[in-house]
């Protein structure tokens, strides 16, 4: 093959396909359409000409940068000390002061601005962000904006279905925008509602929160103390001082500590009428290279997915699901899930045997068989109870005794406990794009394509590769998802290895063959008239750990049968943590 | 490197001469439309993006530190404007519009595949291909717009075309047509 010849032919083909005549630009017409911008430009020029005569101010700013800032930092240390001593010493003498008054005073505040000062003695954390210069919080919509001393800017905006998280990195001059789907409601009408909401979230996650009557600046004040430890073992102590004169939070201290490391920040609050409404207004330059990660939720997508979500919502909340999975015909996994829509009990046993339930449609016979397998079969057993906030777990391996633990649900992703029908037929699809392909057209199905970016662990190892997933929805069977195809970005070697150069999702690098296919091969109807997937086959082609040869490609097939009772009766005591084996 | 007249135009625009800014717009309208097209895949929207980027550039000209980098700076703004248009106007432009274009030209299978091959390229490679073939910019002009050297452009174009050829072969484009 001749490379030059190839190039010429390809050049011609590309030119024929996309070439256009050079477009002509009419500047007069453009000026007519952009009068406002021209006005801004002219006023900038005028201001610049005036500022040329104000040189002494510039000199003053330089002095402030060098000396005054040091004095300011020292003052911050003193203020932080005063705040802490107030909290400790004045607990008993402070007058009572109601949070209702604070809430009333803040009812109209929509923006809160914070100026940060740091203790000079900070030893810092290697994994903590650079020092913050100032930040804003707004409601309607909720926004968190942070500007760092090194020029980095974070801008996060929350809406009903998605979070838009933007980050400007000053070193690379790259502005990264991530669209993250969410089902959480972030609508707040007041700043205080949002602060209290955030504190309540921390409290749910195990933080200790106390409200103390005290004094600040010689006046009565309310102090809110929050004490919590995050997943990295960093101990955070936050104290917010609420001024009794204005009924508004005025100052706060944030102390982050780990053995040998401490960072203390003093924060001063003010309440402007408005603030930066996009990342550029917050300081990111317009010429930053923009990278967009994640798919946006479009109004068209939300409209088209409505019947799927409605079908998912209409599933009976009170139900028992028995699931029997056979893996490559030598392992059986039997699961029983009880749920009342709020609480869930999940029991499972996995054992070495190709087992099948009795050939009957009688649900109680199947349930009895599954319960017998739970008690008789020797293998790995697990029971999990989810009361909506806390997950209680009990596990047993072969002859070992049961071990149990209690964990906050906040530590788990949604869908941690397989909800029977939720994971088998109506998976959560938060965003995506409706696409057409041969399989969807030939089988009268709707197809949704979703993509996900790679996820890394805290130490920059690859936790999950970029993926593309196709969901095929069947409008004829209660919009059930009847086939899922997952395509994984090729990453080798797999799992947990450092992967510095793993690219973000790039369609051209996604293989043509899916590594995981889940297909509903039989439907059935419940007593309440809902379709459900009664037989599912899952094929998984990927690298598996092998003690002898390291990693190797293998294909695993799971044959899954589902049995459902949508009008069951069971006592509420099955959700009681006391019912777990000890 | 930008010529002296270009730097003089940028300086003049910086100092308040709007007509110099207009001259710069006229010079770089074509390349900016090409950049917009590489993101949006739509000629009309690409022209809108170029014009909007001039507006943003005008009010941000005060922030341009290096006057010799005006065109790459303008190109970055145009790229961002086009991406904003994709995000805010909620058009599933990329693959969908290319397929739409393909449907309009059903008889021309070659064009459909070529468009798809361009669409599959990484963003920077797609931009380079469009700059080169949309309204036939020379390597010199591309170098000025993107602020990268000619050998770099040559290497990147070769790699992009290699990727396109690979995609075309994989999708049944016969070898003798390449």
Q: Report pTM.
A: 0.52
Q: Do A19 and B55 touch (CB under 8 A)?
A: no
pLDDT beneath 50, residues of chain B = 90-107
Residue A109 CA: distances (Å) to CA of A52, A160, A196, A264, A267:
38, 21, 14, 27, 18
pLDDT at B33: 94
pLDDT at A472 over 90: yes
pLDDT at A236 over 70: yes
Axis-axis angle for helices B109-119, B150-170 (nearest 10): 130
- DSSP string for residues in A50-111: HHTT-HHHHHHHHHIIIIIHHHHHHHHHHHHHHHHHHHHHSTTTSPP--HHHHHHHTTT--E
pLDDT at B90: 42
pLDDT at A62: 26
For A385-412, what is the mean pLDDT? 75
Cβ-based contacts of B120 with chain A (< 8 Å): 507-508
A76-80, A399-403, A506-510: which range is least confident on average? A76-80
What is the maximal distance between C-alpha atoms in chain A? Answer: 93
Task: Locate CATH 2.50.20 in chain A.
Answer: 63-293
Best mutation target among B34, B84, B92, B146 (most A Cβ atoms within 10 Å) is B92
pLDDT at A408: 56
- Chain B, residues 2-61, CB within 8 A of chain A, namely 15-16, 18, 22, 25-26, 29-30, 33, 37, 43, 47, 51, 54-61
pLDDT at A337: 92
Axis-axis angle for helices B43-60, B18-40 (nearest 10): 140
Q: Do B90 and A15 touch (CB under 8 A)?
A: no
**How many domains are there within chain B?**
1
CATH topology of domain A63-293: outer membrane lipoprotein receptor (LolB), chain A (2.50.20)
Which residue range forms the structural domain that includes residue B55?
4-177
pLDDT at A353: 85
Q: Closest approach of chain B CAs to the CA of A435, in angstroms?
A: 9
Cβ-based contacts of A507 with chain B (< 8 Å): 120
For A420-432, what is the mean pLDDT? 78
Nearest CA in chain A to B170: A512
pLDDT at A282: 92
Four-point Cα dihedral B114, B119, B120, B121, nearest 10: 100
Q: Indicate left, alpha or beta for A180 from its phi (over 0: left) and psi (-120 to 50: alpha).
A: beta
In a 13 Å sphere around the CA of A467, the CA atoms on its Cβ side amount to 17
More confident position, A26 or B102? A26
Q: Identify whether the C-beta of residue A225 lies closer than 8 Å to the C-beta of residue A250.
A: no
For A118-145, what is the mean pLDDT? 74
CB pairs under 8 A between A and B: 127
Q: Do B118 and A14 touch (CB under 8 A)?
A: yes
For A30-56, what is the mean pLDDT? 72
ipTM of model: 0.86
For A481-509, what is the mean pLDDT? 64
Cβ-based contacts of B161 with chain A (< 8 Å): 7, 10-11, 14
Q: What is the pLDDT of residues A281-301, one digit of tens each?
A: 999 998 888 887 777 778 888
Nearest CA in chain B to A298: B90
Tokens of A294: 């994640």
Q: What is the pLDDT of residues A135-189, one digit of tens each?
A: 999 988 889 999 998 889 999 998 877 888 999 988 888 898 888 777 677 777 6
pLDDT at A501 over 80: no
pLDDT at A371: 93
Cβ-based contacts of B90 with chain A (< 8 Å): 296, 298-300
pLDDT at A367 over 90: yes
Axis-axis angle for helices B150-170, B123-133 (nearest 10): 100
Contact B115/A at CB under 8 A: yes
pLDDT at A261 over 60: yes
pLDDT at A1: 40
Q: Closest approach of chain A CAs to the CA of B76, in angstroms?
A: 5
Residues B61 and B68: their CA atoms lie apart, in Å, by: 13
pLDDT at A529: 80
Q: Do B58 and A37 touch (CB under 8 A)?
A: yes
Percent of chain A surpassing pLDDT 90: 16
Q: What is the pLDDT of residues A94-116, one digit of tens each?
A: 334 445 555 555 556 788 899 98
pLDDT at A246 over 50: yes
Residues B178 and B165: their CA atoms lie apart, in Å, by: 7
Q: What is the mean pLDDT of chain A?
A: 75
pLDDT at A320: 92
Q: Identify whether the C-beta of residue B39 lies closer than 8 Å to the C-beta of residue B134.
A: no
pLDDT at B166: 87
Contact B159/A at CB under 8 A: no
- DSSP string for residues in A535-563: EEEEEEEEEEEETTTEEEEEEEEEEEEEE
pLDDT at A201 over 90: no
Residues A163 and A158: their CA atoms lie apart, in Å, by: 5
């Amino acid at each position: 093959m001749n490379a030059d010849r190839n190039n010429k032919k390809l050049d011609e083909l590309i030119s024929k396909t996309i070439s256009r005549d050079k477009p002509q630009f009419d500047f007069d017409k453009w000026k007519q359409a952009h009068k406002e911008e021209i006005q801004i430009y002219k006023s900038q020029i005028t201001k610049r000409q005036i500022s040329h005569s104000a040189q002494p101010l510039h000199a003053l700013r330089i002095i402030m940068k060098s000396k005054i800032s040091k004095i300011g930092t020292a003052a911050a240390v003193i203020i932080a000390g005063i705040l802490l001593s107030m909290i400790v010493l004045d607990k008993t003498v402070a007058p009572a002061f109601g949070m209702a008054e604070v809430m009333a005073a803040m009812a109209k505040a929509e923006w809160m601005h914070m100026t940060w000062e740091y203790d000079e003695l900070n030893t810092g954390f290697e994994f903590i962000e650079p020092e913050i210069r100032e930040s804003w919080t707004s409601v309607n919509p909720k926004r968190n904006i942070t500007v760092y001393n090194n020029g980095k800017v974070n801008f996060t905006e929350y809406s009903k279905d998605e979070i838009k998280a933007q980050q400007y990195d000053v070193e690379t001059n790259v502005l990264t925008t991530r669209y993250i789907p969410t089902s959480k409601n972030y609508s707040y009408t007041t700043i205080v509602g949002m602060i209290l909401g955030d504190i309540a979230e921390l409290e749910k996650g195990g933080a200790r929160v106390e409200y103390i009557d005290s004094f600040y600046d010689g006046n009565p004040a309310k102090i809110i103390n929050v004490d919590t430890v995050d997943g990295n073992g960093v101990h955070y102590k936050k104290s917010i001082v609420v001024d009794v004169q204005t009924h508004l939070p005025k100052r706060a201290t944030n102390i982050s500590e780990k053995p040998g490391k401490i960072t203390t920040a003093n924060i001063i609050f003010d309440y402007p009428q408005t603030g930066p409404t996009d990342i550029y207004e917050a300081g990111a330059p317009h010429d930053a290279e923009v990278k967009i990660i994640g798919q946006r939720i479009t109004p068209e997508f939300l409209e088209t997915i409505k019947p799927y979500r409605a079908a998912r919502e209409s599933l009976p909340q009170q139900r028992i699901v028995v699931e029997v999975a056979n893996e490559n015909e030598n392992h059986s996994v039997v699961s029983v899930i009880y749920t009342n829509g709020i609480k869930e009990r999940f029991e499972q046993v996995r054992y070495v045997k190709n087992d099948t339930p009795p050939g009957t449609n009688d649900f109680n016979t199947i349930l009895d068989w599954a319960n017998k397998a739970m008690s008789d079969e020797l293998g790995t057993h697990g029971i999990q109870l989810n009361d909506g906030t806390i997950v209680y777990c009990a596990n047993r391996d072969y002859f070992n005794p049961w071990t149990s633990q209690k964990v906050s649900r906040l530590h788990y992703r949604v869908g941690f406990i397989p909800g029977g029908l939720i994971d088998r037929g109506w998976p959560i699809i938060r965003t995506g794009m409706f696409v057409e392909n041969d399989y969807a057209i030939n089988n009268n199905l709707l197809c949704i394509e979703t993509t996900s970016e790679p996820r890394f662990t805290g130490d920059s190892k690859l936790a999950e590769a970029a993926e593309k997933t196709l969901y095929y929805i069947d409008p004829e069977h209660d919009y059930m998802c009847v086939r899922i195809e997952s395509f994984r970005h090729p990453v080798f070697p797999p799992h947990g290895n450092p992967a510095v150069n793993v690219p973000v999702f790039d369609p051209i690098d996604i293989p043509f063959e899916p590594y995981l296919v889940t297909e509903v091969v039989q439907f059935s109807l419940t007593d309440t008239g809902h379709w459900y997937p009664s037989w599912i086959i899952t094929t998984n082609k990927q690298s598996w750990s092998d003690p002898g040869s390291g990693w190797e490609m293998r294909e695993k097939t799971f044959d899954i049968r589902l049995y459902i009772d949508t009008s069951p009766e069971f006592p509420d005591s099955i959700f009681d943590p006391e019912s777990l084996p000890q | 490197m930008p010529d002296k007249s270009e730097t003089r135009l940028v300086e003049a625009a910086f100092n308040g001469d709007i007509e110099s800014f207009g001259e710069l717009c006229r010079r770089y309208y074509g390349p900016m439309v090409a950049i917009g097209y590489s993101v949006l895949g739509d000629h009309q929207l690409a022209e809108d993006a170029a014009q909007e980027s001039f507006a943003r550039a005008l009010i941000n000209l005060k922030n341009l530190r290096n006057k010799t980098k005006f065109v790459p700076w303008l190109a970055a703004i145009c790229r961002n404007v086009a991406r904003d248009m994709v995000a805010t106007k909620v058009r599933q432009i990329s693959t969908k519009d290319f397929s739409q274009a393909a449907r309009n030209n059903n008889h021309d299978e070659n064009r459909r595949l070529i468009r798809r091959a361009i669409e599959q390229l990484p963003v920077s490679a797609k931009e380079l291909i469009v700059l080169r073939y949309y309204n036939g910019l020379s390597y010199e002009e591309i170098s000025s717009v993107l602020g990268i050297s000619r050998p770099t452009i040559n290497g990147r174009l070769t790699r992009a075309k290699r990727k396109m050829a690979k995609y075309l072969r994989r999708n049944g484009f016969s070898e003798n047509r390449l």
